[in-house]
Structures are given as structure tokens and as C-alpha cells.
Amino acid sequence: MAGSEDNSGAVFNASSVNIDKAPLREIMCYLQKSNNKYDNRLGLHISSIFVILVVSTAVTFFPVLAARSRRLRIPLSVYLVARYFGAGVIIATAFIHLLDPAYNAIGPKSCVGLTGGWAGYSWPPAIAMSSAMLIFLLDFLADYYVERRHGIVHGPVENLITNSSDADGSGVNKSQLSNNEKLDDDLANFRNLSGDSEAVGRAFRSQIAAFLILEFGIIFHSVIIGLNLGVSGGASFDTLYPVLVFHQSFEGLGIGARLSVIPMPTRWKWLPWALCAAYGLTTPISIAIGLGLHTSYNGKTFTGSIVKGVFDAISAGILLYTGFVEMLARDLLFNPNRTQNKMRLTIMLVSLYLGAGTMALIGKWA
């Protein structure tokens, strides 16, 4: 059997290798290398483009539509399930779908991680930590700038949602309302997330940058998995297709849930819909590109592994910071207007853990 070139460029003859003497790097690079396994089921691949487009886009739009539409009477309990299920999905995506693949691509036991300067340090956690710390710095500077220029604003979204003195001037604090009040009535407060008031403008400026960074991290991940689905075939494609329908839908739910509570000035009212559409289109377009490149694209080359591993680790840091700080800490730990309704808190927490658990389970296949 002729020698084959591993991911680092070295020639490795698998038919005559001496396991006791062969460098571990050469063995790992050979095992990691894989050729495209695209089959000719073009119709099925094309169907994946449209199925993922329709399903993931619809789910992404749902929380935004539920929070802002005055025509729909969606119970607040349904909205809360979607919102906190999405938060759990974001956190599980960071750990299971980004950080773990980063280890596989550039970690200590990978081909890249056993080569050159990559072998001297465990880079995935370092990159993820650096990413999270950078996002924190950007978030802090944005918040500091808004406070200095426009006045102190803490928990602006929660104030708009739960305190009607900000929303309609009535001065009634919603946290003082009876626990027996209908959830449908409370949902009206979630819909007061746009307008031209100074409070809306301050809240928008303090949160939109962090959200855009979150969407960047998820979209890059969506590009990679879209390309992989486009070039896959056989049993791999049969598994990835249905799993990615759920995967992209749940991630979209997380994006929509986070976006649904960002107040939008009137001139930016189109932005939530554009951002949801951008996410929904990313994976289908990437699948189409993968189909076009199925004879040449291989994400497991040495260079491809570096690119994927580094960006997965960066995205993991972004999503970890966003999930724990932007979604959970601000809503559940440091929100002065957090509900005291035990049923509602139970719904929020159960949805959170259900989202994280479901997305972690999906990691068994994709």
C-alpha cells in the first residue's frame, strides 16, 4: 500500500507502521484525515436546504413575534418557555457543540495539537477564556459609555417590561401585582419594547453590540456545520440531516429569545427581523456552497482543522459569556424586578435546564 500524506504534510504508510515506534503525531494525523463522502442523492441534499431554512427561521422569529406582536395573544408562559429554553440551548452549544469540537480539532490529542507550537499548550480553553474576557471588556465599555453619556441605566429591559411607570407613566410596579394576575395581561408589557423614548434608546445602545457578537459566534458555527452537511453522504448524512434540523432550530430559538427583549427605537424596528432572517439563511446557504464544493472541500485538512478549532473556541467563549451573564445573571440573579411568582420561576428554570439538556443530548450525533 502506498504511503498517504497526513494532515501535517508528512508521508505516513499505514500498511507498515510500527505502533511502538511511530510518532503519535503521525498516527493521529492519519486517523484524523478523512476524504469527502458525498453521495449522489442530490434531491435529498437540496431538500435539506429548504427544510432547515423554513423550520429554523420560523422558530427564530417566534420569540420576537411573541414579544412584539399586538395581534397575537400568546400566553406569557409560552413565551417564557421559549426564552429560557433558548438560553439553555446557548449554554449547551458553547460547551458541547463548540468547545468539545475545538478540542478535537486543535486540542492536545489532535493532529494539530501534537504539531509544532500547538503542542506546547492546551489552546482551546485559553482561546475560549480570552474570547469571553474580550467580550466582557467590550460589554463593560459599551455600558460605561452609555451611562456616562446618557445617565445611569441598570436593568433597562426589565424596567421597561415590569415597571409600567417607565412604560405608560402609571407608576404601578408590576412586581407588586397579585400572583393571581393573568399571564396574558403581563405579556402586554413585553410588547412595549420599541418607541422613541430615551429609556428605549439607552437600553438599545447598551445591549445591541453584545447581541451582534453573540450572533456572529453562532453564525460562524452555522457556516461550518452547513458546509459539513453539504459535503457529507451515506450514513453520516442520514444522521446529520434530521439532527441539524433540531440543532439549528434550537439555536435559533436562543437567538430569538435574546433578541426579543432588546428594546428597538422606531428607526431600528426592522433590525430584529433582519437579524433573525440572517441566521435562518446562513446554514441553507452554507449547505448549497458545500454541495458546490463537494469534490474539493475537506474540513479535516491540517489548515482546516486549525481554522475550525480556533473559531469554535472563540465562539464558545462568546456564547458562554452571553449565556451566563447576558441571559441568566441579568434576568435571574441581578434583576431587581424579578418575579416572585413561584409557578413562573419554576417554568423559567425547568425550561432552562430542559433546553441545556436537550441540546447536550443532540451533541451525541452532531
Q: What is the pLDDT of residue 76?
A: 78
Q: Give buried/exposed letters for 107-136 (b at 16+ CB in 10 A, else e).
A: beebbbbbbeebeeeebbbebbeebbeebe
248-291 residue pLDDT tens = 998 898 899 888 888 888 888 899 999 999 999 999 999 999 88
C-alpha cell at 245: 434540523
Q: Is the pLDDT of residue 36 over 70?
A: no
* CA 198/CA 98 separation, integer angstroms: 38
Between CA 103 and CA 350 the distance in angstroms is 30
Mean pLDDT (whole number) for 31-52: 77
**Weakest mean pLDDT among 69-83, 231-245, 348-362:** 69-83
Rounded distance between C-alpha atoms, residue 362 and residue 366, angstroms: 6
Beta carbons within 8 Å of 160's beta carbon, 6+ residues apart: 166, 167, 189, 192, 193, 199, 200, 203, 263
Percent of the chain with pLDDT over 70: 75
| Amino acid at position 221, single letter | H
CA distance 52 to 43: 14
Distance, in Å, from the CA atom of 38 to the CA atom of 168, rounded to the nearest integer, reads: 58
CA distance 280 to 56: 6
Find out whether 355 and 89 touch, Cβ atoms under 8 Å.
Answer: yes
Listed by start position, the domains of the chain span 49-151+198-364
What sections of 23-118 are H helices per DSSP?
Answer: 24-32, 42-68, 76-92, 100-106
Is 15's pLDDT higher than 80? no
Query: What's the pLDDT score for residue 47?
Result: 93
**Mean pLDDT score of the chain, rounded to an integer?**
78
pLDDT (tens digit per residue) in 282-334? 999 999 998 888 777 677 778 888 888 998 999 899 999 988 988 888 888 88
Residue 4's pLDDT band, with cuts at 50, 70 and 90, is: very low
Phi, psi of 111 (to 5 degrees): -60, -50
| pTM for this prediction | 0.74
Residue 64 above 80 pLDDT? yes
Phi, psi of 75 (to 5 degrees): -60, 145
